[in-house]
Chains A and B, each alone.
Chain A
Amino acid sequence: MTKILIENVHKTFGTREVLCGIDLAVGVGDVVCVIGPSGSGKSTLLRCVNALEPVTSGRVVVDDIVMTDPKCDLNSARRNIGMVFQSFNLFSHMTVRRNITLAPMDLKKMPAAEANALAAELLAKVGLADRIDAYPRQLSGGQKQRVAIARALAMKPDVMLFDEPTSALDPEMVGEVLTVMKQLALDGMTMIVVTHEMSFAKEVADRVIFMDNGLIVEQGTPQDVFSNPKEPRTQDFLRRVSQAG
């Protein structure tokens, strides 16, 4: 069953074409990792899924809702699509608790007691039960990102989008975030993860997408893409990444 359908999506910024016709289908419970050099359009593609970035042409369908339809109620559709950003973007003027309870209380009219219980439950899940009353500035990068994941989960989304969730983290904090994401994948969440963490992609992804210059150059199982890359550009990219690592 298809959860996310991307059809012939083009995106232009000014005269620069960032996405040059992307087709992608993601099934229920699939974990798709998108890799590729910076500037290849992978973050833009992710942002087109929840329409944070409007497409220039093409169609994006999530759970049978056509996100690219101008009449689409995006506010309602986005409740079902969690997103985690590279720079965390926790609401800096709110406690961890309030960061998590804001959307359920405002949008689902959830009573405060229930929302607080939900926040506690989600924080326990990401291993931060004791930080519920902290402010974002009191947290480390890895903790912020785990709170951001909890915040996105508070709306009980069916789909989670991760935009380079570990790229802004100190190396020793990458693991704690990836562990939470792995657990989420095991729980059956449909996920698209834009990442530079090749080991995460190898271990967790059902499918790996390699993008370059606004196109999907190669895709397949982690085994296919990492051990047997067919395209020269993929081979070149993986060689450079393994040298750097």
Chain B
Amino acid sequence: MDFVTTIRGSWQLLLSGLGITVAVSLIAIAAGIVIGFVSCMMSLSKISPLRVLAQAYVWVIRGTPMLVQAFIIYFGLPQVIQQFVPGFTLGAFLAAAITLSINAGAYLSEIFRGGINAVDPGQIEASRSLGLSGGRTMRRIILPQAVRITTPSLVNQFIITVKDSSILSIIGLGELVNHAKVYVGGTYQFFATYVWVAVLYLAFISVLMLVSRRIERNLNRDKDSD
């Protein structure tokens, strides 16, 4: 239970793990926003195949554990692709980033959809009555207001994505929990090591929350986007 000895012995290992956690999380958040936005627009589309596709994506991802998705992508997918491309392999980092991205994307898609639906229909009617087209109304009126409405839920989802990245230690991604396991395996310092791991997650997520709060405050100054 010696915290000082533990951090002296493990800091390089833990920090390199944290680096991977940060990298894979930020990639997943960025990719998830793009995937989620596209999926959300598809689910609100008038074209029914697009709508069905988006709904199926959200349904499958939300309805299955991320652990199983990670196994399918990391172990299963290369097996299938190898039948067409002999020797194909997928690195743990890439597999982890894909898994985490499509996961975040599905949840963000629903958050965006909820935000868009939460915009007062009167705002849309006012815009249309002025002669603004549907697309222009979406860009000028609906999206800026939806972003404000959804900011707290978005931040929540970003935090979940960071924490979910720990699950990907199972497929051998060298992130924080994985590296901690390595250290514990040699030293048996379970308590001190995992408390340090918790502290590092808390630190990263706190930074994320501070940044989000600043962005949120800027948005709520009610400045127009132009």
Which residue from B125, B133, B224 sits with its C-beta under 8 Å from A93? Answer: B224
Q: A152 to chain B: which residues have CB within 8 Å?
A: 129-130
B136 interfacial contact with A, CB 8 Å = yes
B 176-203 to A, binary, CB cutoff 8 A, 1 in contact else 0: 0000000000000000000000000000
Question: In the docked arrangement, what's the CA distance between A94 and B127, Å?
Answer: 13
B131 interfacial contact with A, CB 8 Å = yes
Q: B120 to chain A: which residues have CB within 8 Å?
A: 89
A92 interfacial contact with B, CB 8 Å = yes
Contact A91 B122 (CB under 8 A): no
B 115-156 to A, binary, CB cutoff 8 A, 1 in contact else 0: 000001011011111111100100011001100100000000
**Closest partner residue, chain A, to B219 (CB atom):** A93
A35 interfacial contact with B, CB 8 Å = no
Contact B132 A75 (CB under 8 A): yes
Chain B interface, DSSP helix/strand/loop, else mixed: helix
Total interface residues in chain B, CB < 8 Å = 20
Minimal beta-carbon separation of A225 from chain B (angstroms): 28
**Closest partner residue, chain B, to A136 (CB atom):** B222
**Closest partner residue, chain A, to B125 (CB atom):** A52
Please tell me the size bucket of the interface on A.
20 to 34
Contact A106 B132 (CB under 8 A): yes
Contact A94 B224 (CB under 8 A): yes
Which residue from B129, B133, B224 sits with its C-beta under 8 Å from A98? Answer: B224
Q: A81 to chain B: which residues have CB within 8 Å?
A: 129
Minimal beta-carbon separation of B16 from chain A (angstroms): 43
Question: In the docked arrangement, what's the CA distance between A95 and B225, Å?
Answer: 11
Interface residues of A in 53-96 (CB under 8 A from B): 75-79, 81-83, 85, 87, 89-95
Minimal beta-carbon separation of A119 from chain B (angstroms): 13
Minimal beta-carbon separation of B133 from chain A (angstroms): 5
Q: B125 to chain A: which residues have CB within 8 Å?
A: 52, 85, 89
**Closest partner residue, chain A, to B141 (CB atom):** A91
Which residue from A89, A135, A151 sits with its C-beta under 8 Å from B123? Answer: A89
Contact A75 B133 (CB under 8 A): yes
Question: In the docked arrangement, what's the CA distance between A98 and B123, Å?
Answer: 14
Q: A211 to chain B: which residues have CB within 8 Å?
A: none
Contact A107 B127 (CB under 8 A): no
**Closest partner residue, chain A, to B220 (CB atom):** A93
Q: A107 to chain B: which residues have CB within 8 Å?
A: 130-132
Question: In the docked arrangement, what's the CA distance between A75 and B148, Å?
Answer: 27
Contact B123 A92 (CB under 8 A): yes
A169 interfacial contact with B, CB 8 Å = no
Contact B222 A93 (CB under 8 A): yes
Contact A91 B126 (CB under 8 A): yes
Minimal beta-carbon separation of B134 from chain A (angstroms): 9
Q: B126 to chain A: which residues have CB within 8 Å?
A: 83, 85, 89-91, 148, 151
Q: Contacts A89-B123, A93-B222, A98-B224 hold; do A151 and B130 have CB atoms under 8 A apart?
A: yes
In the complex, besides A75-B133, A93-B224, 10 extra interface pairs with C-beta distance below 8 angstroms are: A75-B132, A76-B131, A78-B131, A83-B126, A92-B123, A93-B222, A94-B222, A95-B224, A106-B140, A107-B130
20 contacts across the A-B interface (CB closer than 8 A): A52-B129, A77-B131, A81-B129, A85-B122, A89-B120, A89-B122, A91-B123, A91-B126, A92-B222, A93-B222, A93-B224, A94-B222, A103-B132, A106-B132, A107-B130, A107-B132, A135-B222, A151-B126, A151-B130, A152-B130
Closest 5 pairs (CB-CB, A-B): A89-B126, A79-B131, A89-B122, A83-B129, A103-B130
